[in-house]
Structures are given as C-alpha cells and as structure tokens.
Chains A and B, each alone.
Chain A
Amino acid sequence: MRYPFPVGKSDFIQGDEAIARAAILAGCRFYAGYPITPASEIFEAMALYMPLVDGVSIQMEDEIASIAAIIGASWAGAKAMTATSGPGFSLMMENLGYAIMTETPIVVVDVQRGGPSTGQPTLAAQGDIMQAIWGTHGDHMLIVLSPSTVQEAFDFTIRAFNLAEKYRTPVVLLTDAEIAHMRERVYIPSPEEIELVERKLPASEEEAKLPFGDPHGDGVPPMPIFGRGYRTYVTGLTHDERGRPRTVDAEVHEKLITRIFRKILDHKDEIISYEEFMLDDADVAIVSTGIVSRSAIRAVKILRERGVKAGMVKINTIWPFDFDYIEQLAERVGKIYVPEMNLGQLYHLVKEGANGKAEVELIAKIGGEVHTPMEIVERVVG
C-alpha cells in the first residue's frame, strides 16, 4: 500500500491534517462530512487522500446525514469517520445515540469552537465536554478522547479507531480549534509501526445469530456485518440478543443497556489514559485536558521555581472518567485546580472524583483564548 503522504518520518502539519492522516493509517475507508469551521480541513484532506487509498469521502447534505452514512458504512464493514464542530455535533446527537444502541463502531471528531449556537466559529473552546459525554438522550456509554498536541491528535485518532473496533462503540475525539489549526512537528509512523485492532466478526453461524448477545463474556458481541448472508436485524429500539425489538420488556432493556455500560466500564483500565507531571511530592495539583494542559505544564514549572510544590494531571480519556484516581489524587494533595476553556465542565467530574478529600477550584476562561501559564500561576499563588 502506498500512502499519499510521507510515512515513517516527521512532518510539520495542522491538527486537522494529522487527524485525517491518522484515520487513513488506521484503516478508515469511508468518510462522510459537511463543511464547518474549524473541522473542514479534516474533510478536505480526506477528500484529497481517500481516492488514492481506495477509500470514499462524501459530502452529505448535512451533519445528520453524515453520521447516518458512516453508521451505514460501518455496518457494510468499513471503518468510518465524520468530523464536525459544535453546531454540527449538536445535530449528530440523535444518531450518536443510535450508534451506541446498535453498537456500531464509528469515530466522530468534534473540533470544539466557542458556543452555544454559532458562537465563535474560529476560536477554540472546551464547551462540548458534557455534550460529548451526555449529549444524546437516554442512559448511554461511549468513549471520549481529548488530545493536547498535534501529535496526540494523530495518536489518539488511531486509538479512537482501535477502541471503536474493539468495543463496538462510537468514540468521540474531542479536540478544539486551537489544536486543529496549529501546526506542529508530528511523527507519522509507517504502517508497520502501528498496531491496529479490527472488529470481531462472528466465528460461527450460531454467533452470527446473536449480534447483541455476549458469546465471549466480555460484553462485546461479534458484529455480523451486512452482505455476508447473516440477515442481521439492527434497530435502535430496545432489542434482545438476536436483535428483535422488545420495547416493553423491562428485563430485556436493563440487560441490553447494562451490557453496553459494562463492555466499556469493565475495560476502563485499558481505555482510561492520563499523564502525571511532577506529582510525586506535590501538594497542589492541576487537572486539565486538551490544549489547556500545555499552559498547565508551564504553570507547574513556574510554580516550582517559586517554591510551590505543584504537579499536574493531563486527562487523555475524558469518558469513561477515572473518578477513583481523582479521589486518590485528592488524598495526596490539599488542593486541585481545574483550568478549562468553559464555565465549568471537567471541574464537575473532578469535584465528584475528589469526593471532598481535597478542595477543587475552577479556573474558567471563555472567549476563545487559551489560559496563559501566568493566569493559572496567579490563581494558585493567590
């Protein structure tokens, strides 16, 4: 396979471009999208690259159709992705729930911009954290990843596909306008360096008859994709193990929904990722995610220079969230600061995790600019 961009070497590219290249190296061969700032460059790169790797990139009539098409393509057996920003992400919510309910592996990129509504199309924000987790209706579980560099935008996109395939679930890559449009040096590995995970397919006719069962005991049923003669029945209605609608049976509903939770939560140790910096002796911790982590690292260094024993945690997996880890962290430090580009979203998760063991303080900033390190430092030193 030849790739339409250099592999096995570094390049100086935008976050959006990194996401597109990662998707192609992850095996994505179906992309459907609708133009929106600041995610359009992902689409443009996919439109350019896809025909060169036997893939397809389609502009649909809106974002609802885009996510619908990638779900359809996933059932046709393809690894599929769409990318959007807040307004389009809002439109995708119903079908995101459909992908959860039908256990369809897809990757949805949300390049966050200022909101609500049309808001600040060209400026970064982190206002979609709660929407990514809870935006679709009903009890549901999915995976949300958050990169803080262009390299991570690349790496986490590969990871998003692997997690989607492994757990038969939609994965949201939650990034922002800052990372999407920033150019950084990124190492683009060659295919041999990349470990890819493919979805489980039915090993037997019997397994194929249980598209929503649990034949392997890990909560993840093999996926009897279309066109192989399985005659699979897929519906967003509450369904039994065979996929048949059972809309008024409480037991069937509970069994289905708890398995969808369990297949992810039982594997949360593998799914959850965070990184610690200078936390060993810290008595102040900064917990952040995405682009803000860049300022937080610098803030920790400045605080250390000033004699404050500060450390930080960069949250890579926003959902499922590691509440237990935050509680342990809270026991180690006296105070946790949560800088984020919204009026308090990650903060609520951290506060719930801290469980009263440490004081948790929000450092909110909205309007489109990332916190400067000094804005964080000044809040910590008071």
Chain B
Amino acid sequence: MAKEIYSTYPMVKYLRKEALPTALCPGCGGGTVLNAFANAVDGLKLDPKDLVVVSGIGCSAWIASPYFLADTLHTTHGRAIAFATGVKVGLPDKKVVVISGDGDLASIGGNHLIHAARRNIDITVILVNNFIYGMTGGQVAPTTPFGAKTTTSPYRNIEHPLNISETVAAAGASYVARWTTAHVYQLIESIKKAIQVKGFSLVEVVSQCPVQFGRRNKMKEPAEMLRWFLKNSVPVSKAKNMSPEELEGKFVIGEFVNRQRPEFTEELNKLIDEVQEQFGLKEV
C-alpha cells in the first residue's frame, strides 16, 4: 500500500524514495511539515539542486533529512544553524533551509538561533515546535506548556515556555511567522515567503506529538491535538489587544515581522568590495 501512496503523491518527486516510509510515528505532525515544505518548494518552482537543507538532532531533524532530495547536512545537536551559516556564506546563491525541532534549535541551539537572527543571514529556519523531546522519550522542553506532564516533569512542569517567534523577531530577523499543523495552507504560504525574503526567516510550526506529549496530557489522538491547536489559536492582530493573562495557553498565529533589513552575506560582499577598493586591489 505504501508504494501506491508514493506513486500517487505529487510531491514524491522531491523525496528520496528509497528512504521511505519515514521514521515518523503515525499521527506525527512532521509529515505535514514535510508536505508543506515540499509544496512551498514546488509553488516557488525552486530547483532542489539550488537548495541545501540542514538539520540537527531529534525527530524534527528527520523531517527533511534524509527524505528531502537535495544537498542535505544532518548535523550535531543544536548546531544546525551554525553549520548552515558556513554553507550559506560558501554558497550565497543557494537557498539554505534549516528544519529542526524546538529542543534542538531553541534549547541546546538557542544561542545560534538568536545570533543568526541578529546577523540576519539569509537562512530560512522551519522550527517544528511540539513542546517535547520526542525521540529521547518525552522529556520536558523549554517550550513545554506550564503545568504539562512529561517524563522529566512527571508531576507538572513548573517552568514557563519560551516564546520562540517573539524572541527571534526581537533578535532582528527579517521574517517571522507562526502557524500550527492545523493551518497547512497558511503554513505553505509562509514558508514560500520565508524562502524568498532576503535575510533571516523563521517559520515556527506548532506541531503535534501524540505519542510523547499528547498521551501524557489527555490528548492521545492526533486529531485531539489538532483541535486543541485550532481552538486556542489567536491571530497576531487580535493578540495585540489581549493581556498576558488572556494569552496564557494560546497559540498566537500569523506573521510577527516581515521587514527589510541589511542581510549578512550582502554586507560581507559590500565590505570586500569596499576594502579592496580602498587598498587599490579592485580590478578595473
């Protein structure tokens, strides 16, 4: 049956067929993200040969790696954006996309996320936020909601989650948007925009992990989690007029920023030209 699906699924042309089926659990939001990413690439008519995908460690790092058929660098835990920085500077004409999870990019790799946004390097980050460390068995994350149960907060989580999108927007990214896996069309459009924006772009995707998060928090079925997302999603425009108390437990969705700021690799080239001219090295 699996093979039939692959033969009728139009996005399969972007996938490493021999690596399928994916290692993702049934009901995981990762498949939705992969589908959205493939649709965005397709919508942009982007040749995958002009794309480099970089990921870190954890379930979400496996969304595009090894499945997406492009140059792919599957790196160490938390460091995908730092690796991607070297790739982008080396290949400034290629699109460099990082796809990884909240634990990978916002916990162990949080500093790289902030500094890449500050540098405003032209990398697109698709951060899949499922509030949990899935691959290692459901441990608490810096994104886990207050009060939620995990294997390392078995009674309840006493910490408050990091607001990733707001943090990255404040750090200086050109584009930041957040959607959930229940907002697939909006997600595809945002990924398309993010890839096209010159500068650092983040698309945070709130995603379901029914196996590690849902079943410990009274949402065993994937659909229950999607309903939870839909019920609690608040558009950015509406959220602006809500108090922090009212926003507790809500998912603010939409575009946080979409702005033009100087981009890192362009600034690098400007500097090279400027310095070479200053020292009379520029060929006339």
Task: Name A's B-contacting residues (CB within 8 A).
Answer: 2, 4, 30, 32, 51-52, 54, 56, 58, 60-62, 64-66, 68-78, 80, 94-95, 98, 226-227, 229-237, 244-245
A62 cross-chain contacts in B, Cβ below 8 A: 111
Give per-residue flags for B66-92: 1 if the beta carbon is below 8 A from chain A beta carbons, else 0.
100111111110010011111111110
Please give me the residue from chain B that is nearest to A97 by CB atom: B76
- Cβ-defined contact, B74 with A235, below 8 A: yes
A255 to B: closest C-beta gap in Å: 19
A-B CB proximity, top 5 nearest? A76-B90, A72-B86, A68-B82, A73-B86, A65-B82
Complex: A230 Cα to B71 Cα, angstroms: 7
Complex: A234 Cα to B275 Cα, angstroms: 36
Q: List 11 A-B contacts (CB under 8 A).
A: A32-B85, A32-B86, A51-B271, A65-B115, A68-B86, A72-B73, A75-B86, A76-B52, A233-B72, A234-B74, A236-B76
Question: Quick one: which of A52, A56, A68 contacts B279, CB cutoff 8 A?
Answer: A52
Complex: A52 Cα to B283 Cα, angstroms: 12
Please give me the residue from chain B that is nearest to A60 by CB atom: B82
Q: How many residues of B contact A (CB 8 A)?
A: 41
B279 cross-chain contacts in A, Cβ below 8 A: 4, 52
- Cβ-defined contact, B87 with A73, below 8 A: yes
Question: Quick one: which of B49, B65, B76, B88 contacts A233, CB cutoff 8 A?
Answer: B65
Question: Quick one: which of A52, A69, A236 contacts B74, CB cutoff 8 A?
Answer: A236
Give per-residue flags for B265-283: 1 if the beta carbon is below 8 A from chain A beta carbons, else 0.
0001001100110010100
A54 cross-chain contacts in B, Cβ below 8 A: 272
- Cβ-defined contact, A30 with B90, below 8 A: yes
B16 CB–A CB distance under 8 Å: yes
Please give me the residue from chain A that is nearest to B77 by CB atom: A94
Please give me the residue from chain A that is nearest to B52 by CB atom: A226
- Cβ-defined contact, A68 with B71, below 8 A: no
B91 cross-chain contacts in A, Cβ below 8 A: 76-77, 226-227
B84 to A: closest C-beta gap in Å: 6
Given contacts A76-B89, A229-B49, A244-B19, contact A235 B66 (CB under 8 A): yes
- Cβ-defined contact, B71 with A226, below 8 A: yes
Please give me the residue from chain B that is nearest to A32 by CB atom: B86
Complex: A63 Cα to B54 Cα, angstroms: 19
Please give me the residue from chain B that is nearest to A230 by CB atom: B71
- Cβ-defined contact, A69 with B83, below 8 A: yes
Please give me the residue from chain B that is nearest to A98 by CB atom: B76
- Cβ-defined contact, A232 with B72, below 8 A: yes
Please give me the residue from chain B that is nearest to A106 by CB atom: B86
Complex: A339 Cα to B114 Cα, angstroms: 46
A223 to B: closest C-beta gap in Å: 12
Given contacts A68-B76, A74-B86, contact A61 B115 (CB under 8 A): yes
Question: Quick one: which of B74, B88, B268 contacts A237, CB cutoff 8 A?
Answer: B74
B16 cross-chain contacts in A, Cβ below 8 A: 233
- Cβ-defined contact, A231 with B69, below 8 A: yes
Q: Which of B159-201 contact A (CB under 8 A)?
A: none
B87 to A: closest C-beta gap in Å: 4
Complex: A232 Cα to B65 Cα, angstroms: 11
- Cβ-defined contact, A233 with B66, below 8 A: yes
A68 cross-chain contacts in B, Cβ below 8 A: 75-76, 79, 82-83, 85-86, 112
- Cβ-defined contact, A51 with B276, below 8 A: yes
- Cβ-defined contact, B89 with A73, below 8 A: yes
- Cβ-defined contact, B111 with A61, below 8 A: yes
B54 cross-chain contacts in A, Cβ below 8 A: 72
